[in-house]
Chains A and B, each alone.
Chain A
Amino acid sequence: MIKFHPSARQLSDFVEGTLSPAISLMVSAHCDMCEKCQRRVEIETESLAAEMVSSVSAKMDNTIDTSFQFGDMLSQITALPSGKQSDFGSYCEVEHQEPFKKDNSRRLQANVSTIELDGRSFTLPRTLHRYIDKTGNWSSLVGKLWQAPVDLGNQGVANFIFMGSGGSVPEHTHRGTEYTLVIDGEFSDGLGRYDTGDFIFMDGEKTHTPRAEGKEGCLVFSIVDQPLHFTSGLARLLNPFSHLFFR
């Protein structure tokens, strides 16, 4: 059962479109899995829409100048063709809606919704489907950890991290913020137990040791804005290199 959700502030920034794109991806993917947050998003959207509708200020919107501009705009818009193609209905529709999205990689990947590791296949939430073809190869990290980087362009790198059964990330804290979404499985970190769909954010104030205890291991999607800082034992030796992984 999902117990960890984005904060009210994160959700409302997400709905408003002001949350950072990388974190928006996490929130959106969480909502794909969490009906409760879907509902919260709907309510927030309705309330922001209501705010927009009431946001007209009389002093600047009834000027002759704006009326003229709006008049022009209206006739330009109604001169546009319909975006709907009735022959074969919706089958061709999508191509019309998104003429700018015709590159081949998307064409090939459009129906892929899973990633694979070690013969296992994991179904991803809808939001992440487009990032499957931007996901690099799996590489082995310390312990029973596997990592595959996801290129988010200018937004930096996210990672799929798979913790094999009993696998663990050494105790660490964060200089920046770590966002983790549990895609499949469960893990605990000394602070809490997390299940599929949970949305977890950690900042510099918390130290934790993620560990997958279930038999099946655990796949998470993670974004870290600063390298991790390991806090105990031999793992401290990793610190000089931690920017190379767990980014």
Chain B
Amino acid sequence: MLVGIPLEQSNSTIKPKECATEMSDYLVAVADTRCKRSFARVFNYFAPRLRSYALKQMGNEALAMELVQDTMSNVWQKAHLFNSEKGSPSTWIFTIARNIRFDMLRKLQNRKEDVCSDDLWPVLCEQTADANETSLDEQVTLEQIGFMFESLPAKQKAVVEAIYIDGKSQQEVADELSIPLGTVKSRTRLALQRLKVMLNDND
């Protein structure tokens, strides 16, 4: 479904800068609320552009459409990784498309294992968001987290359990334990910091 938005016309008159702000807002809406309507706007603007770009690069309609689909799927699923301070939506989407194309070409040649786009351009890797932050072990298992969780001090553990496992709000936890909201917040923060340290030491 096109959700009633004609391709092109709605955006063709918008200046690039305004468009970037507009698209950026839509991406944030997708990240925050999974807003399909916002995503449709982003999709309708970028999909045809990605398609012509890919067609020019790869000269094959089926591959071009595959590239569009993979790229836009990533945009939908990983909109939370978009950071408007780091660049415009078109730059972000271009890099995703470029990475997918790079890996697609390697896959076509049965060479996907040697060099992959994540090594070169870690645009969708959360752990590189801050270069100074030690990268967390990529593959910490749930059991390991469980083990670390068990080693938290009892008070912190109770708060984290209520919030992250039982899904309660911080206020609910405060009421339930008869402690101030600020205490809940600080215990949560301390617990998460502690978990993070444990995860970093986990090599």
Contact = CB atoms under 8 A, between A and B. Distances in A.
Nearest to B140: A91
Contacts of B24: none
A154 interface: yes
- Mostly, the B contact residues are helix
Interface residues on chain B, size class = 35 or more
B90 A93 contact: no
A153 interface: yes
B80 interface: yes
Contacts of A142: none
Given A22-B115, A77-B43, A110-B203, A52 B136 contact: no
Contacts, number: 192
B68 A73 contact: yes
Interface string A14-34: 111100011011001000000
Interface string A45-62: 110111111011110111
Contact of A84 (B78, B106, B136, B195): B78
Contacts of A152: 114-115
A64 B111 CA distance: 37
A124 to B, nearest CB: 12
Interface centre among A16, A53, A93 (most CB of B within 10 A): A53
Interface stretch (B96-104, B150-158, B179-187): B96-104
A80 B91 contact: no
B26 interface: no
Interface of A: 14-17, 21-22, 24-25, 28, 42, 45-46, 48-53, 55-58, 60-62, 66-67, 69-71, 73-78, 80-84, 87-88, 90-95, 97-98, 101-102, 106-107, 110-112, 126-127, 130, 152-155
Interface of B: 1-3, 7-8, 16, 31, 34, 36, 39-40, 43-44, 46-53, 56, 65, 68-69, 72-74, 76-78, 80, 87-88, 90-91, 93-95, 97-99, 101-102, 106, 109-111, 113-115, 117-122, 124-128, 134-140, 142, 145, 164-165, 195-196, 199, 202-203
